[in-house]
Amino acid sequence: MTTSHYIAGRWVEGQGSDCISVNDPAMGLPFAELMAASVAQVDQAVAAAREALPAWKQTSASQRAAYLRGFAEQLGQRREALVTLQMRNNGKPRHEAEIDLDDAIATFNYYADLAEQLPQKNCDVPLAAPGFTARTRLEPVGVVGLIVPWNFPLVTSAWKLAPALAAGCTVVLKPSEVTPLMEQTYGQIADTLGLPAGVLNIVNGKAETGAALSGHNGLDKLSFTGSNSVGSQVMRSASAQCRPVTLELGGKSAIVVFDDCDVEQAVEWIVAGISWNAGQMCSATSRLLVQDGIADALLPRLQAALENLRVGNPLSEEVDMGPLTSQAQWLKVASYFATAREEGLQCLAGGKALDRDGWFVSPTLYVDVPADSRLWTEEIFGPVLCARRFATEAQAIAEANDSRFGLVATVCSADLERAERVADALEVGHVWINSVQAVFVETSWGGTKGSGIGRELGPWGLSGYLSVKHVTRCLG
């Protein structure tokens, strides 16, 4: 699998110095290799996108919409292969992999619809002053670099690629080196659809490739999803060019459970918020705030539910949770188990790596975790849940907001007026009330504080790839 880069409408071999090993996390073994792109190949990809931009941004909205619907249709035709690859390379259970694919398909169809509405956004602007007319034009930002993570391949790239193409931008996409194969599909689909050469370019690689793209002076915008540490480097690179960025970064999100909740229902929402994708989500609700009146009933049931989750290889078993996606992440989560032991935290469930082939850990619950514990304040990116009790609504809000992150939160209460009130008070970008983390393409995605800059999905996702121009004319 050496022809791993899609540049100017052609598949080319990597010329970089890094060899990327693609692993099956359930076995802890590689099943594919590819060579990274060189810095020169990143230059070629950006140049191809730059060359393709003038013609692509002049295509009609209906033409761009047709291409986007073609991406959606082609993803559906590749369904079984893509679901299986997700299971094999990410370790996702089948039901999660299927939802991911459906999410990507819905994203391309949604932005196809928005693309067709763009001409109506160019309109006259009423002026108070006589003697002048003004009109608004929405234009593509230009050439954009897209850097996506390994926890939701295909999905996160769809969230960026679909609105960028809908807006009339050309793209250089860099997938994660952990999961590079899923995004190859987009290049294959571009070939099938006859997408003009250079509109979509894909370069694979590690840190060197990402740095070459994020610091490239040929980009007009950069959109990055990943860790805060890398996000800060991306932002520094963009600042040298005064280039706009969208950053979707980490989280340490709270789930607040009030004592009027149905216990079994609350347990379902809590487990889903920490075990989905083995907790490898920026939106994982890894801080549980449970009201005193329900805590003694809820925590034992939660312990049992976590212990009863079926953990295993999704390709050979029916499982609720698969392995962690990489050995590096497995080692990171194991280090937090060691920290918990050093801090003397009370562990009700899990707290260990599993003694089997592959990168498996147990779903974990720590209780009465101090607010200054590293496990309470730092993003772990694994199925590790920390619980604290609270007495009053005001206390719950204060503790939920006491974080350097602000991505999402969940509120569980039978008192819907209170739930809405608490949702309004939480300093985050998205709140669920009495629900699992259902994400819809029509709603926005992004956070406050250290969780990033800008929004994806919905019309806000499209606006991030559009530039506003006003034309004012004197009538005199």
Q: Which residues are catalytic?
A: 248, 282
pLDDT at 80: 97
Q: Read off the pLDDT of each residue in 372-387 and give the average, rounded to a whole number.
A: 98
What pLDDT shows up at residue 135?
95
At 313 the pLDDT is: 96
DSSP state of 415: -
Mean pLDDT of 133-140: 96
The number of CA neighbours under 13 Å toward the Cβ of 439 is 24
Q: Which two tokens stand for residue 115?
A: 């693309």
For range 268-283, the mean pLDDT: 98
Report the share of the chain in percent with pLDDT over 70: 99
Rounded Cα distance, 187 and 73, in Å: 14
C-beta contacts of 116-125 below 8 A and 24+ residues apart: 116/61, 116/62, 116/65, 117/61, 118/61, 118/166, 118/167, 119/61, 125/470
Beta bridge partners of 34: 20
Structural domains in the chain, CATH included, are 5-249+451-474 (3.40.605.10), 254-440 (3.40.309.10)
Q: For the chain, count helices (H), then strands (E).
A: 15, 21
User: Cα–Cα distance between 397 and 256 in angstroms, integer?
Assistant: 9
Over residues 87-112, mean pLDDT: 97
pTM for the whole thing? 0.96
What's the mean pLDDT when you consider all of the chain? 96
Mean pLDDT of 205-219: 95
pLDDT of residue 238: 87
Place of tokens 């959606």: 72
Give the pairing of strands 143-147 and 221-225: parallel
CA-based R_g, the chain, Å? 23
Q: Indicate if the pLDDT at residue 1 is higher than 70.
A: no
pLDDT tier at 3, thresholds 50, 70, 90: low
Are the beta carbons of 250 and 403 closer than 8 angstroms? no
- pLDDT score of 384 more than 70: yes
Give the list of residues 6+ apart from residue 177 with CB closer than 8 angstroms, or none.
18, 20, 36, 150, 204, 205, 206
Q: Which two tokens stand for residue 360?
A: 């498996």
Say if CB 280 and CB 382 are below 8 A apart. yes
17 or 349, greater pLDDT: 349
The pLDDT confidence band at residue 338, using thresholds 50, 70 and 90, is very high
Neighbours of 187 (CB within 10 A): 22
Q: Are 56 and 170 in contact (CB under 8 A)?
A: yes
Tell me the average pLDDT across 82-93.
96
d(CA 457, CA 455): 7
Secondary structure of residue 339 in the 3-state scheme: helix
% of the chain exceeding 90 in pLDDT: 97
On the question of pLDDT at 2 being above 80, the answer is no
| pLDDT band at 4; cut points 50, 70, 90 | confident
Give the rounded distance of the alpha carbon of 186 from its chain centre.
17
Mean pLDDT calculated for residue range 132-137: 95
| 476 confidence band (pLDDT: 50, 70, 90) | confident
